[in-house]
Structure 1
Amino acid sequence: MYLDCAATTPLEPRVVEEVTRYLVSDFGNAGSRTHGYGQTAKSRVQAAREEVATVVDAGPDEVIFTSGATESNNLALLGLVDHGKATSRRHVITTAIEHKAVLEPVDELRRRGFTVTLLQADTSGRVDPDDLRRALRPDTLLVSIMHANNETGVLQPLADITAAMDHHDAFLHVDAAQAFGKELEPLRQSRIDLISVSGHKIYAPKGVGALIARRRGFVRPPLRPLQYGGGQERGLRAGTLAVALIAGLGTAAALAVADQRDRRRTCERLRSRLMAALAPFDPEFNGDQDHVLPSTLNVSIPNGHGGYLDSEAVMLALKPVVAISNGSACTSHSYAPSHVLEAMGLSTDRVQGALRFSWSHLTPEPDWDALSGAFSGLLS
């Protein structure tokens, strides 16, 4: 059973068809203006811009295609450095529970002379908008807060966060890698200036994503490119466009909007059955289960002796039965206790026992008896 969709998702069959078409037959370069192959590619890229923009109610010319959310995060954060220096606004606010793809660029901002405020989350896994309101300063350039956490699935209160920034002109960036195409309305708030998107979290290929850079009034965010050469993507992301991958992202985005309700119902049903399968083991759920993606569950299982089953031991024992994780795939090559769960104030034992289950509308019905049996074996 594959239950690690927060790490990466399977490809939608219709996405596979679209990608294959633009790899094999309509393989033109979108920058080639002298023949039909190039025009076909250019038209498909433009259609994909519209499909991606529709998800968050943005304009197609506000979509910048990238290699994924990590590049988008870097462009959103580091791309504002020159503007911050020119305007003497060198204060940045983010949270202690962000993905490393935000926290490490923020560390780079600190090295370049910016001051950083890290907002803390409580045991619910959510940030208090009042903390943000108090942290804002006249020289605050940027606020970066994720939508859905990649480890817990907990959703941040974006409506309250945007309200806290109503009377401040700092740019608001949202890392929406986990929630884009799954939670539609919160990301449609026009106060969100920058949104990072990852293709392989919404059933599109790896290696493609987008940064949505909304105009405020008629003014675009004053981003500067991180690489040069060619002038593609309004000069913000040089390089030949990966037409096939972009076509796949566009198709995935369109399907996410069209099929959202059915997908959500399927994920909620699987969630209910997973919780029922774990119920005999007195699970302790990490994060506020009233504000969470329906497709993610982070849980620690008591060992009956005052502690918790060790996650590494559990994953080894469950390997023949289920594919799960104990945190972000981006940092699992050098495993350390989850900075997200530690920032939530959970005990060391509970953090070391944390398991992440994540699934999708494409997930076949798992063998719940086999899963329960594996846990029973660990506790016997």
Structure 2
Amino acid sequence: MTNSDNEGRPVYLDANATTPLEPAVLDEVMHYFIVEFGNSGSRTHEYGQAAKSRVQRAREQVAEVVAAHSDEVVFTSGATESNNIALLGLVEHGEKTGRRRVITTAIEHKAVIEPVEQLARRGFDVVFLPTTAGGWVDPQALADALTPDTLAVSVMQVNNETGVRQPLADIAELLRDHQAYLHVDAAQGFGKELAALRDPRIDLISISGHKIYGPKGVGALVARRRGYKRPPLVPLVHGGGQERGLRPGTLPVPLVAGLGTAAHLAVRDNETRMRTCLEHKSAALRVFDRLGAEYNGDPDRVVAHAVNLSIPGLDSEALILALKGAAAVSNGSACTSHSYEPSHVLIAMGLPVERVQGALRLSWSHLTAEVDWEDLHDRIAAIR
């Protein structure tokens, strides 16, 4: 899609919900839909061999982002499925070893909170760590909750609503000599914040293609070995034995190829993308500072591609209505927006109800069209 295709439409500022496709990714996906349409499990002819070869290259491309080995990459339908495999897949091991404590945070995505709630229903001791007012979890809270029978710790890399980075390096160091499996939901940070996920102490990493300019419907779970031992995961679905038995079913080769290309470009173009996002962020903050915005999330920890803010006296629905036709924005997670419930993330941060109700999330990318920030300012100023 070109800029001309979007003429007359609002500028897209909801990249935390999903990102547009990189043109090179689209080309790759279409090639494997139309030309190389073989099944990667077919070994008797060149169509299958071409598909298998591309899947292997995609494993290498995804693994490169987090400094893992290609055989540690399991393709899934997205981060939600990866989270479920990572957490629910440890149940059998936890029951066998008597390690029944699972620690996570109060600000996780529902794709982690709901599987963890399933663990609680199965008799596991689940601990939700509180967050600071800045939207990040203090590693000391984890240290206080950690016990010898802790099976797993699950902490997101970047919060999807506030854009706040979690202190993964400190958490990984805290767990360096502990046997608990460390899982990271990296949907919002994979391919953008590179260094944090390259720590070998992180055992399990969930990623989603459509957050890094790749196709929807594909993602991966990186399951790192400790020495020669893989994480003791068991599959949630059975039949076929694909993906080392953890995720059976015919691989969607076009989507996997697209994810591989998106991962490769994320590493190659990381610095230039970051600069572009920071330029958008600086322009946004200059405008919202003039409107007296209150920023939800520690500004020193917020990523380059997002901001969450409230404007005193205005609720988010009024703000979204004022920006209608000019900018596509949101007031929270796209996965729960249908519920109209106050953000559990902002509530966990201890923000006043009025500020939570007024919260607006803007998120952009290196593909974002030029934004008329002055027009956005004037639209909001007119309803104050």
Query: Normalised by the size of structure 1, how large is the TM-score?
Result: 0.98
Give the whole-Å Cα distance in 1 for the aligned partners of 2:192 and 2:302. 11
| Secondary structure of 1:378's aligned partner | coil
Query: For structure 1, which segment, 310-319 or 177-186, has the greater mean C-alpha deviation from structure 2 after superposition?
Result: 310-319
Q: Quick one: which of 266, 279, 298 aligns to 1:288? A: 298
Deviation per CA, 1:154-178: give whole Å up to 9, x if none. Answer: 0001110011112211000000000
One-letter code aligned to 1:138: P
Q: What is the aligned partner in structure 1 of residue 238 from structure 2? A: 228
1:157-172 correspondence runs (5 A): 157-172=167-182
> Which runs of structure 1 show a deviation greater than 3 angstroms over 4 or more consecutive aligned residues?
none
Q: Which blocks of at least 5 consecutive residues in structure 1 are unaligned?
A: 304-308
**1-side partners of 2:78 and 2:383: how far apart?**
38
Mapped partners of 1:259, 1:326: distance in 2: 29
1:81-120 mapped onto 2 (5 Å cutoff): 81-120=91-130
Aligned-residue offset at 1:317: 2.0
SS at match of 1:333: helix
Equivalents in 1 of 2:208, 2:299: separation in Å? 24
Local SS of the residue matching 1:255:
helix
| TM-aligned CA deviation for residue 281 of structure 1 | 0.8
Residue deviations 1:301-335 (CA, integer Å, cap 9, x gap): 012xxxxx110121122111110000000000111
8 Å CA contact 1:281, 1:302 repeated in 2: no
Which one-letter code corresponds to 2:22 in the other structure? E
2:282 aligned partner: 272
Residue of structure 2 aligned with 1:60, choices 70, 73, 90: 70
Show the counterpart of 2:202: 192
| 1:358 aligned partner | 363
Superposition CA RMSD, Å: 0.6
Q: Which amino acid aligns with 2:167?
A: P
Point out the more displaced range, 313-322 or 91-100: 313-322
Match of 1:203 in 2: 213
Matched, 1:301 2:301: no
Is 1:30 equivalent to 2:40 in the alignment?
yes
Aligned residues: 374
1:340 matched to 2:350? The reply is: no
Which residue number in structure 2 is paired with residue 69 of structure 1?
Answer: 79
- Structure 2 unaligned segments of length 5 or more: list them: 1-10
Q: Please give the alpha-carbon distance, in whole angstroms, between the structure 1 residues aligned to 2:96 and 2:208.
A: 31
Task: Letter of the 1:342 partner, please give it.
Answer: I
Match of 1:328 in 2: 333
| Separation (CA, whole Å) in 2 of partners of 1:136 and 1:241 | 38
CA distance in 2, matches of 1:14, 1:139: 47
Matched residue SS, 1:117: strand
Amino acid at match of 2:326: V
Contact 1:225 1:235 in 2 (8 A): yes
SS at match of 2:244: coil
Cα shift at 1:134? 1.2
Residue identity matched to 1:142: A
Q: Secondary structure at the match of 2:317?
A: helix
Whether contact under 8 Å (1:130, 1:164) holds in the other structure is no
Task: Specify the code of the residue in structure 2 equivalent to 1:334.
Answer: S
Match of 1:174 in 2: 184
What amino acid is aligned across from residue 199 of structure 2 in structure 1? Q
User: CA separation in 2, counterparts of 1:263 and 1:25?
Assistant: 31
Corresponding residue SS for 2:257: helix
What do residues 11-33 of structure 1 show as CA deviations (whole Å, max 9, x unaligned)? Answer: 00000000000001100000000
Secondary structure, counterpart of 1:234 in structure 2: helix
User: What are the Cα deviations for residues 202-248 of structure 1, in whole angstroms up to 9, with x where unaligned?
Assistant: 00010000000000111000000010110000000000000000000
Aligned to 1:156: 166
Counterpart position of 2:323: 318
Pairwise CA distance, 1:370: 1.2
Q: Which amino acid aligns with 2:227?
A: G
| Partners of 1:234 and 1:166 in 2: CA distance | 27
Q: TM-score, normalised by structure 2?
A: 0.97
* DSSP-derived class of the 1:173 partner: strand
Contact 1:196 1:211 in 2 (8 A): yes
**In structure 2, how many angstroms separate the alpha carbons of the residues matched to 1:252 and 1:82?**
34
* CA–CA distance in structure 1, aligned partners of residues 31 and 63 of structure 2: 23
CA deviation after TM superposition for structure 1 residue 278, in Å: 1.4
Matched, 1:253 2:258: no
Contact 1:93 1:143 in 2 (8 A): yes
SS of the equivalent of 2:328 reads coil
Q: Does 1:4 align with 2:11?
A: no
Offset of residue 263 of structure 1: 0.2
1:288 deviates by 0.6
